[in-house]
Amino acid sequence: MSTIPLDEPSERPFEEAIDFDYSLTRWRTLFNLLLTGLSGLATVVALIPLISVLYMLVSHGLARLTEVSVFTALPPTGKDVGGGFGNALQGTLVMVAVASLLSVPFGILVAVYLAEFGKDSTTASVVRFAAKILTGLPSIIAGVFAFAILVMHTGRSSFAGGVGLAVLMLPTIILTAEEALLQVPRKMREAAYGLGCTHTQVVLRVVLPTAIPNIVTGVMLGVARAAGETAPLLFTAAFSYFWLNKLMQPTASLAVFIYRYSGVPYERQVELAWAASLVLVTLVLTINVLAQLITRRAHAHR
Amino acid sequence: MSETSSSVVESPPRELPPMVYREPTLSERFFDRFFRGLTWGLAWMTVVLVVGMVVLISVDAWPTLRDSGGREFYSVVWDANRNEFGILTHIWGTLYSSLLALLLGGTLGVAVAIFIAEDFLPSKIRLFLKNLIELLAAIPSVIYGLWGIHVVIPALRAGLHYFPSLLADFSGPSMLSASLVLAIMILPTVTALSRDALESVPPRLREGAYGLGATRWETIRKIVLPTACTGILGAIILAFGRALGETMALAMLVGNSTARDNPLSFNPLLPGQTLAALLANNFPEASDPLQVGALMMAALVLLLITLVVNLFGALIIWRASAQFQGLRS
């Protein structure tokens, strides 16, 4: 490291060594401005698809939604100009409910182990690793799994679809619930221990009730993700033109409905796909916004 | 020391009020053991789920693989009627479409991340922009597919009118249309993770650069980006992993070429095929055990590729976050 000797004053005064000038005639200032503009442009470009998607959803989907019958009618067949996605909406709700029933209690209990009982154990790190792997799992693989474990033995059903969705929801729930449990202040736990509570009582009566808002947020994010998934349902719940009355039969869902009617040559049926998309996006976004509101309120209360 | 001991002697020994502290009863202890065991068992079930998934898919893929001796991996012909299940085209298409998407979505995503992470705009507007970009991730992929069919492909066709020689090749559903939509779908991932990386650059480094008279972009290019590059690389690799496994938009837009079309082509205007799209298109009708086996094999290949890419990405992100441990005060 060569430094300026302290005893000799520098040949060049400080002001000349660095230039604080902000003049547009200078290359570095211009370059700065140019790059700022470019990155701003990139942001605008990135938002064009979003605006385009939302515009298409509203302009193509809203018209059909004004006919209330789309919510109650069965899917159109052949060249039908009417019809709706009533059974698809029903199927989505049922399968998301099945997936939640399977994955929410499971996920929360796993999170309890990770955050409370086995915090620093080897088991916990292995399980966390497994959950992270599940996060990056391609959604169609969840479908293949449900196909291999259920459909190959019992046939296509909404239950199999629910299992596929549950696999995708599980990591979100485990990881967000663990985070939520860890945020519970230590003092609260210690007070409960001081009264002679068992570890389980501390978890069930103190930690879980305190962490509930944040856990609900995680669950809702998982639900929002599951509601929009198509790939795991394609060959597990498949599709149906009829109402769902048993859990063990093929079932339509909004996502698969959109897939099926996206490429049909009939204008009216494509419009129906857009209408279903608008319903699905509204559903997903509402859940997302609610989840954020819950977190915000929980934080405001602390 | 002496003071405390004297005070202990003077005051009578404090007793806890009755009923505040109570030993857990036997049944409470039993329930405690039971509950701990339950959560432990369920935790291991998660691991069993992951391992079971790989094992189950492998077992179902094995008969086909054994019969053919692995011919699938270098054959480009997928013809279920003749029991030909070559998946080389699909592996190629998966990697190529994801790389194209990464090229576009990655560049754009990092640029957006810089714009949002740096203080170009008031923080309220930046938060708004960040939420808008996150909104992109909330839209289900099947809707991107629908949008691709009805907006991107017509737009591309209109654009290519000015290049008649290219238009002849363009088939509508193609690698290009699929990759464009895929790029948009991975952009939020790239932006969110790169933003994390940029924001974890210690402010001291930035301040030091400004103090030396560097302009904002000199600071970004020479200080911030080199410091955050490990994290950004991790973001890009994780986005790549996401692109590899993306199914619906690709199944709807990639064109699902057969062997007759140019199978292993660099030309993005031609239709292509990916592993995930193959699964989405063929599983619904598959009933023949040999074909199901071949599809299971494709699923296994996809699972292994994404697993390796994701692990690699996670490792890099983990290294990046460990990197600043000492620098933070």
Kindly report, residue by residue over B297-324, the tens digit of the pLDDT: 999 999 999 999 999 998 998 888 777 6
**Would you say A270 and A261 are in contact if contact means Cβ atoms under 8 Å apart?**
yes
pLDDT in tens, A54-107: 999 999 999 888 888 888 889 988 888 888 899 999 999 999 999 999 999 999
Answer yes or no: do B136 and A138 touch at CB < 8 A: no
- 3-state helix, strand and coil shares in percent for chain B, rounded to the nearest 5: 75, 0, 25
- Which pLDDT score is estimated for B16? 59
- Which pLDDT score is estimated for B279? 92
Q: How far apart, in Å, are the Cα atoms of A198 and each of A5, A125, A203, B32, B36?
A: 69, 24, 9, 6, 11
Q: How far is A90 from B163, CA to CA, in rounded Å?
A: 47
- Which pLDDT score is estimated for A302? 54
Residues B103-126, mean pLDDT to the nearest whole number: 92
Rounded to the nearest angstrom, the minimum Cα separation between B156 and chain A is 14
- Which pLDDT score is estimated for B271? 85
Neighbours of A302 (CB within 10 A): 8
Measure CB to CB from residue B184 to each of A32, A49, A256 and give the nearest one: A49
Give the mean pLDDT of chain B: 86
- pLDDT of B329 above 50: no
- Which pLDDT score is estimated for B325? 62
Neighbours of A30 (CB within 10 A): 12
pLDDT in tens, A103-133: 999 999 999 999 999 989 999 999 999 999 9
Of the pLDDT bands very low, low, confident and very high (cuts 50, 70, 90), residue A2 is very low
Best of A15, A39, A129, A152 to disrupt the B interface by mutation (most B CBs within 10 Å)?
Answer: A39
Read off the tokens for A92. Answer: 């989505």
Q: How many helices (H) and strands (E) does chain A have?
A: 12, 0
Domain ranges of chain B: 90-323
Domain ranges of chain A: 70-74+84-301
Residues B27-31, mean pLDDT to the nearest whole number: 91
Of the pLDDT bands very low, low, confident and very high (cuts 50, 70, 90), residue B6 is very low
CATH topology of domain A70-74+84-301: MetI-like fold (1.10.3720)
- Cβ-Cβ contacts under 8 Å, A224 against chain B: 138
Beta bridge partners of B78: B85
Residues A241-250, mean pLDDT to the nearest whole number: 89
Measure CB to CB from residue B284 to each of A133, A197, A234 and give the nearest one: A234
Of the pLDDT bands very low, low, confident and very high (cuts 50, 70, 90), residue B5 is very low
- Cβ-Cβ contacts under 8 Å, B127 against chain A: none
Highest mean pLDDT among A243-252, A293-302, B2-11, B63-72: A243-252
Say which amino acid occupies B96: Y
- pLDDT of B171 above 80: no
Measure CB to CB from residue A53 to each of B50, B129, B147 and give the nearest one: B147
Of the pLDDT bands very low, low, confident and very high (cuts 50, 70, 90), residue B197 is very high
ipTM above 0.95, yes or no: no
DSSP B269: T
- Which pLDDT score is estimated for B236? 94
- Which pLDDT score is estimated for A68? 83
Total residue count of chain A as it appears in this document: 302
Answer yes or no: do B212 and A197 touch at CB < 8 A: no
Higher pLDDT, A17 or B161: B161
Answer yes or no: do B143 and A280 touch at CB < 8 A: yes
Beta bridge partners of B79: B84
Residues B244-260, mean pLDDT to the nearest whole number: 83
- Which pLDDT score is estimated for B262? 54
Say if domain B90-323 classifies as CATH 3.40.640.10.
no
pLDDT in tens, B66-95: 887 777 777 777 877 777 788 888 999 999
Q: How far is A85 from A244, CA to CA, in rounded Å?
A: 12
Q: How far is B198 from B8, CA to CA, in rounded Å?
A: 56
